[in-house]
A and B are shown apart, each in its own frame.
Chain A
Amino acid sequence: MITASLPLLIADTAAAVDPAATFIRLLTVFLLAMWVGFEVITKVPQRLHTPLTSGSNAISGITAVGAIVVAATVAAAGYRFGNLLGLLAVVLAMVNVAGGFVVTHRMLEMFQPKKK
């Protein structure tokens, strides 16, 4: 498994992993996921495009994963300014995530048949 942490990229152990290989691997993932996205999303009916937008919006909050890692990785030398930026990123990304999923749920509930 290729470890994902940054120090590896700049330390001399990086010689073990060809950076171009890492890039091609991620590019593969990127293009295939784009393709899957196009295939799946063209089948969503127009009536549901607003919940689709807000739902995908919530998923774009995935950047919270990066925010958590950078905020909670503290160097041996101590906290750095980057940790503070990371914490701010966690707040913003979680607004995106929670807001997106909750509002999507709220909208989809309105599309359900009403109980008489």
Chain B
Amino acid sequence: MSSQAWINLAYLVASMLFIVAFKLMTGPRTAVRGNYLGAAGMAIALLAACFEPSVQETLAARGAWPLVLVALAAVVGAAIGATMAIRYPMTGMPQMVALLNGFGGAASTLVAGAELWNATATAREAASPLPAWTQFAIATALTGLIGAVTFWGSLVAFGKLEELPQFKKAWTDPNRHWINLGLGLGTLLLLWGVCANPSSNLLFWALVIVGSVLGCTLTMPIGGADMPVVICLLNSYSGLAAAAAGFVIDNSVLVIAGSLVGASGLILTAIMCQAMNRSLVGVLFGGLGTTTAANADDVYAGKVKSASAEEIAMVLEGADRVVIVPGYGLAVAQAQHAVRELANALEKRGTTVEYAIHPVAGRMPGHMNVLLAEADIPYEKLREMDDINPTFPETDVAIVIGANDVVNPAARTDPKSPIAGMPILDVDKARTVVVVKRSLSPGFAGIPNPLFAADNTLMYFADGKKAILDLTSALEKG
């Protein structure tokens, strides 16, 4: 068997390991093994790359230096990545993932740019220009573009999620659609230019620059509530950029791994859009529209019942089954550990406590689960929406902390509501609902929530963390 055959076999093994890694992601225990297998697959693929014939020829001609440099670069990169991964707090996971995505995208752009640079140099020496509209030309152009959009889009997403002051306000210039349209047309023109004239490095880098600007202008108008969708989409792009790079260098492991990631990102994007009742086009280009919702005064007037920690503790004392509904407000208040304490106090009294997690609780898919797991809340108690919704009628008390739109029954009852049809947690069906909230202010959708005025709802107006701590001590005293 030729050495190329062995290398291709190694790539095949790596690809299989990636698929198995995804397959094992179905449960928390097997997922650990899956992650190891994915890493093993990556190690095999990276090692195989060092045996590619062109690399071996270089080794034979020039000694080990070129590969030593590569190894040094790899160690530096891995050290930076691992340090970031160990240091970053769990609340910052969306930013971290955005940043890593961006680096992956940038790497793909650079691979395409480097291949093109060296290929044009070789072609010049041979006095035969690169042929137009080849797989190499088209894939190089696409990789450069997708990678650049991914990198700059990810940096903007990072800035927004990290709440850097420059990114506090979404960019809502009324002309932005025209600017994006112009940039889009420019991108298409340059794409055509690179494919038709691949010997020009200048055209390629012009495409990368326009793609970079487009990455920024497409991400800047998107508001905080839609960030989970953006993270998923960028994740998908980084995979597609890697797959496109596979077409550049004619390498199947890049194509396979890249398309797996592309598929994963697309699925998560679809799930997030569905859970927020928004279309992808609406997220990308809409901005939140102006809503003609019911008047808040009509909904709330005279019907809102406010309760104190002691009163709520009394209700909790009689409860057999309590479901806690955490929203991102809880994570912002850093109240996960306080919630765990409250659950401990309840469980000591023999009450069953579970957690109902809406798909968009948090700032990326599944984020709330990670935050609660960090506070030592067992995986089995974290229940998904479809799983826990049928149990609300048998629930004595539902405690909603820092969530609003995802528990708004108007989604079910009012076909004219802007969130009509959005999947929600049916907390209003519980015997008693306790809502911990600072005020009656609306959530991201900007609409009043009839749940707050319902007969079985008690409002507990306080800061999330302090409220839970007070509730716990009231319960322990009582």
Contacts and interface: CB of A to CB of B under 8 A. Distances in A.
Interface of A: 1-7, 9-11, 19, 22-23, 26, 29-31, 33-38, 40-77, 80-114
A99 B249 contact: no
Nearest to B6: A1
Given A6-B136, A69-B249, A93-B103, A41 B267 contact: yes
A30 B268 CA distance: 19
B29 A72 contact: no
Nearest to B86: A102
B366 interface: yes
A71 B65 CA distance: 11
A67 B103 CA distance: 13
A71 B113 CA distance: 12
Nearest to B250: A4
Contacts of B235: 53, 56-57, 60
Nearest to A65: B49
Interface of B: 2, 4-5, 8, 15, 18-19, 21-23, 25-29, 31-32, 34-35, 38-39, 41-42, 45-46, 48-50, 52-55, 57-58, 61-62, 66-67, 69-70, 73-82, 84-86, 88, 90, 93, 96-97, 100-101, 103-104, 106-108, 110-111, 113-119, 121-123, 125-126, 128, 130-131, 134-136, 231-232, 235, 238-239, 241-243, 245-265, 267-268, 271, 357, 359, 362, 364-367, 369-370, 373-374, 376, 378-379, 382, 384-385
A26 B26 contact: no
Contact of B78 (A19, A49, A86, A95): A95
B246 A66 contact: yes
Contacts of A82: 113-118, 121
B72 to A, nearest CB: 9
A106 B85 contact: yes
B74 A72 contact: no
B54 A69 contact: yes
B369 A36 contact: no
Contact of A57 (B58, B90, B104): B104
A42 to B, nearest CB: 6
Contacts of B374: 110
16 contacts: A29-B255, A34-B262, A40-B22, A50-B366, A51-B366, A57-B100, A57-B104, A60-B235, A63-B111, A70-B115, A73-B66, A74-B62, A92-B103, A92-B106, A94-B81, A100-B100
Which are the 9 A-B pairs with shortest beta-carbon distances? Answer: A94-B77, A37-B263, A49-B366, A99-B81, A98-B81, A49-B365, A82-B117, A82-B118, A89-B110
Contacts of B260: 33-34, 36-37, 40-41, 56, 59
B118 A83 contact: yes
Most A CB contacts (10 A, CB to CB) among B5, B88, B103, B136 go to B103
B257 to A, nearest CB: 4
B28 A73 contact: no
A37 B262 contact: yes
Given A71-B70, A74-B62, A90-B70, A6 B119 contact: yes
Contacts of B373: 107, 110-111
A62 B391 CA distance: 44
Given A51-B25, A53-B235, A92-B110, A41 B263 contact: yes
A80 B261 contact: no
A107 B103 CA distance: 21
Contact of A87 (B70, B123, B254, B257): B70
Contact of A90 (B74, B135, B255): B74
B32 A43 contact: no
Nearest to A85: B114
Contact of A68 (B46, B103, B239, B263): B46
Given A26-B247, A45-B384, A103-B85, A33 B255 contact: yes
Contacts of B134: 9, 19
B197 to A, nearest CB: 15
B54 A99 contact: no
A101 B38 contact: yes
A102 B81 contact: yes
Given A26-B255, A56-B235, A63-B104, A89 B25 contact: no
Contacts of B271: 46, 49
Contact of B26 (A45, A71, A113): A45
Most B CB contacts (10 A, CB to CB) among A11, A54, A112 go to A54
Contacts of A96: 81, 100-101, 103-104, 107, 238
A10 to B, nearest CB: 6
A9 B122 CA distance: 12
Nearest to B58: A74
